[in-house]
Structure 1
Amino acid sequence: MSFKITNTVTWVGKIDWELRSFHGEEYSTHRGSSYNSYLIRDEKTVLMDTVWVPFSKEFVSNLKNEIDLKKIDYIIMNHAEPDHSGALIDLMKEIPDTPIYCTKNGKDIIKGHCHEDWNFVTVKTGDTLDIGKNKLTFIEARMLHWPDTMFTYYNGENILFSNDAFGQHYASELMFNDKADYDELMQEAIKYYANILTPYSSFVVKKIQEVLSFNLPVDMICTSHGIIWRDNPSQIINKYMEWAQNYKENQITLIYDSMWNSTRRMAEAIAEGIKESNKDVVVKIYNSGKSDKNDIITEVFKSKAILVGSCTINNGILSSTAAILEMMRGLRFKDKKAAAFGSFGWGGESVKMITEELKEGGFEIINDGIKEKWRPDEEGLKRCREYGKEFVSRL
């Protein structure tokens, strides 16, 4: 399958309708994904990125139907992660001498994955490649989200090939943002940012400011996953700037796991107290043992404060609670407040342990949390409701 994007650019990627997890099992892809690769035809022909390894042979076969492979003059690898570089081994068997343009880190990573020493040409910000009437300009985008990442700007059609930045795991034959379902698109875009780019937000701001300082007209942003931005592409740039600057909405999210529903009852009572005290705040509750972890992380990203709960088990906390806390620690959220809650039978260490994990994750701890012994009775639930009122009053 190929799809003409503009007069000179053709999409030659792969839509992965069946994909349900990414990065191993770390990222849920409810709506599938795509691996976007592009052909640019000027006096010279350029291939921009490839596809994931499972689709490598299919990619090369389809590419042969689109073009004589020997007519590809240059290959641009904006990012060396295997979902973009996965078809290189099969492709380079066909055209082994074709130069591969990438950053120095990109060369090292591709060699580390493929164990081949191809004809690499390393580039840095400001380097250009003349392809005939037009040229490509390379812009390093280190840590967005790997050390090798770069953008490529094509002046012939004012296109920014942004690789992972501004993308989404979203399978759609509609291709463009003005055709796709806007709500689905933005949900997948914010989920992608929250779960993948949050730790690199300071880099996002600096890189966007740098790109804007070049005063390059951008009529289209061609990402490497999901939908292409052609209708007002600056909207996703503006969203990234908003998301990158300690983003939060008027939302509080409660995350818990429970053995015998005691901690669940606490979560619901705390939420009732929050709503009684502040009817305008959005309150969401998730069982971390039953809900999708990446969807939970997206809600944490949107929240100004969170509460995390678990009963005590074996002098510790339930495994799903530990896992979501570890994810949050790695994402390094900024300017968010938090507290812990949980039920116990005899030890009661969970609240203290969760509090320490939240502190390690960069959250501002509101108080020492609340714990209830065994199954909370009406008095216990009342204490939880009062706790919810106190919590929201301190935000």
Structure 2
Amino acid sequence: MVNSFKITDDLFWVGALDPNLRIFDIIMETKFGTSYNSYILKGTEGIALFETVKEKFFDEHLDKVRNVVNPEDITYVVVNHTEPDHAGSVAKILDYAPNATVVGSTLAIKYLSNIINRPFKSKAVKDGETLSLGNKTLKFISVPQLHWPDTMYTYVIEDETLVTCDSFGAHYSDPCILKSSLPESKEDDYVEAYNYYFRMIMGPFKPFVLKALDKIKDLNLSYICPGHGLVLDKSNIDKYMDLYRDWCVEVKEKNLA
């Protein structure tokens, strides 16, 4: 089992790897496995946990969280999207983080209320709204239909980090966690997984992908932290964002031909 991974002094990966998975959601091939990414951000006045993991990996996830913080000190559980592979362990983590407030879009909170089916502290946030962790500021960016209507991104202003859930992800499992640490010999495999994920998950929502890209194009970005696959860091962010735009435009041009 891969332990928690330090991305920056205050940001940690606490997800789970699933290298042997070969089929996801019944129809998706995952020949490179997958990961269920979750992150902890430490602020001077609060701690945020972004996403959880698929429920079967909860014990492993909890061990990683405990390696970084006391779960009772978690202030916020930020849910950018409520599919079970991302939010499947929210109810369980709240058992260990009883003081935490769940943060999400209005729809995400509504969906979670039905999924969890018990009272919990929540905060519905709007597009452009911010939340302070002291020396860290979370800014929420509404990106509906990527690929559910509840979806949002979270931008950590001071750390130039964008947490994106399904966007910019791939079904790919590797203990290196950071894209810049992936051996060059695996680059073609990662691009293949990234393209397949885009086609299968984001493909039906290309107009919304382009809107999202326009919303974030002026952000300073040092890290993109997706829900699956590797964390994109400064040396490769532009490449992988440009691929999204190219794949959207390519399809539009074909339709006009």
CA contact (8 A) 2:39 2:51 kept: yes
Q: Is the 8 A contact 1:59 1:87 kept in 2?
A: no
Q: TM-score normalised to the size of structure 2?
A: 0.92
Contact 1:144 1:200 in 2 (8 A): yes
Mapped pair 1:203 → 2:187: no
- Aligned partner of 1:77 in structure 2 is 79
Q: Which amino acid aligns with 2:193?
A: E
Of the three residues 42, 47, 50, the one matched with 1:45 is 47
* Paired residues of 1:153 and 1:159 also in contact (CA < 8 A): yes
Aligned to 1:369: none
- SS of residue in 1 equivalent to 2:167: coil
SS at match of 1:247: helix
Distance in structure 2 (CA, Å) of the matches to 1:195 and 1:135:
33
Deviates more, 1:216-225 or 1:109-118: 109-118
> Partners of 1:93 and 1:232 in 2: how far apart?
38
Cα distance in structure 2, aligned partners of 1:156 and 1:36: 21
Is 1:219 aligned with 2:222?
Answer: yes
* Alpha-carbon distance in 1 for matches of 2:75, 2:115: 23
Q: Which amino acid aligns with 2:42?
A: R
Contact 2:53–2:87, Cα closer than 8 Å, also in 1: yes
Provide the rounded CA distance (Å) in 1 between the counterparts of 2:47 and 2:230.
23
Structure 1 residue runs of 5 or longer lacking an equivalent are 249-303, 305-333, 337-394
Q: Which amino acid aligns with 2:132?
A: D
Percent identity, aligned pairs only, is 30
Q: Confirm or deny that 1:247 pairs with 2:167.
A: no
Q: CA deviation at 1:95?
A: 2.2
Instruction: Report matched runs for 1:259-298 at 5 Å.
Output: none
- Cα distance in structure 1, aligned partners of 2:236 and 2:59: 35
Change in CA separation of 1:186 and 1:67 when aligned onto 2, cut-off 3 Å: same
Does the Cα contact within 8 Å between 2:72 and 2:99 map onto a contact in 1?
A: no
Q: 1:186 aligns with which of 170, 184, 191?
A: 191
Name the count of aligned residue pairs.
250
The answer to whether the 8 Å contact 2:12/2:41 transfers is: yes
Matches of 1:186 and 1:120, distance apart in 2:
37
TM-score by length of 1: 0.61
Contact 1:220–1:228 (CA<8 Å) still a contact in 2?
yes
Confirm whether residue 16 of structure 1 aligns to residue 14 of structure 2: no
Q: CA deviation at 1:120?
A: 1.1
Amino acid across the alignment from 2:164: S
Counterpart AA for 1:238: D
CA contact (8 A) 2:163 2:224 kept: yes
After superposition, give the CA deviation of every residue in 1:4-62 in whole Å (9 maximum; x if it has no partner): 00111011110111111111x11111110001111111112111111001112332233
Distance between the aligned counterparts of 2:85 and 2:93, measured in 1?
A: 14
Residue 335 (str. 1) matches residue 255 (str. 2): yes
| Cα RMSD (Å) | 1.7
The answer for the alignment partner of 1:98 in structure 2 is 100
Contact residue 97 and residue 118 of structure 1 kept, 8 A? no
Q: Which amino acid aligns with 2:223?
A: M
Relative contact order, CA 8 A, sep 6+: which one is greater? Answer: 2
Task: Provide runs of 4+ in structure 1 moved above 3 Å.
Answer: none
Report the equivalent of 2:149: 147
Deviation at 1:161, TM superposition (A): 0.7
Structure 1 or 2, whichever has the larger Rg, is: 1
